[in-house]
Amino acid sequence: MNKLIFLGHATFEIVMEDGTRLVVDPFLTSNPQATVGPDHFHDRLDYMLLTHGHFDHVEDAWSLLEKTGATLISSVEICNYAGTVLGHEPTHGMSIGGSHDFPFGRVKMTVAPHGGRLDAEGGEGYTCTPGGFLLHLGETRLYIAGDTALTLDMQLLENQVDIAVLPIGDNFTMGPEDAARAAEMIKPRTVIPCHYNSWPVIEQDPEHFRGLVEPRSDVLVMAPGEAHEFQ
Ligand code: NI
Ligand code: MN
């Protein structure tokens, strides 16, 4: 079985059956929810996926790339930053709407209306288009929405997703009501809420969210450190 592990806020670890290890939006050092630090990945990290450049998604990205030599998969702009300013390789730049087959599975970048600043030293001029990821991993289609508003583009994902990871914190992203409407459009089997309760401004009750979504889709509320197995 493959594993999806929630590390708090919007950070996820994915471990494939063959041992391939990925991280999405590594924010651990200052993450009030995190139960592990960046050293969690020091023994092995194969791929890093970044949805966008905000601090609460990239805080540990640059040091982890250097430490682990992982392949960075993100927008062309963020990959250019990592290559040009940090001298990091390998990187694989993508743009919204594009897909690519990697050894671990297929990655498509999806639309995410949000802010494009890159929070990184020397990152000025690398303003990026924020995105999300639709991943085909094994038999499972996993949608990681990223920081996003509710958008009609999500209708294009109808019946394309098995597990949807949606932000519910409000203020910076969709709140519970909009995330529930997103789930209604996408019709995934399972919805995992994220990007809430890290700070007072994004406090939400995930059980309220569950009430808005179930029984159309199952809501899986993950505690930081918790793993969910998928095929
Ligand atoms: Ni953001
Ligand atoms: Mn964020």
**In angstroms, what is the span from residue 204 Cα to ligand 1's centroid?**
17
Residues 137 and 205: their CA atoms lie apart, in Å, by 30
pTM to 2 decimal places: 0.98
Strand partners, 41: none
Going through the chain in order, the beta strands assigned E by DSSP cover: 2-6, 12-15, 21-24, 47-49, 71-75, 91-94, 99-102, 105-111, 131-137, 140-144, 163-167, 190-194, 218-219, 227-230
End-to-end CA distance of the chain: 5
Ion ligand 1 neighbours, Cβ < 5 Å? 54, 147
Residues 91 and 203: their CA atoms lie apart, in Å, by 35
Contact yes or no for 142/167 (Cβ under 8 A): no
What tens digit of pLDDT does each residue of 17-35 get?
999 999 999 999 999 999 9
**In angstroms, what is the span from residue 99 Cα to ligand 2's centroid?**
23
Across the range 8-13, mean pLDDT stands at 98
What tens digit of pLDDT does each residue of 142-198 get?
999 999 999 999 999 999 999 999 999 999 999 999 999 999 999 999 999 999 999
**In angstroms, what is the span from residue 18 Cα to ligand 2's centroid?**
30
Residues 174 and 180: their CA atoms lie apart, in Å, by 9
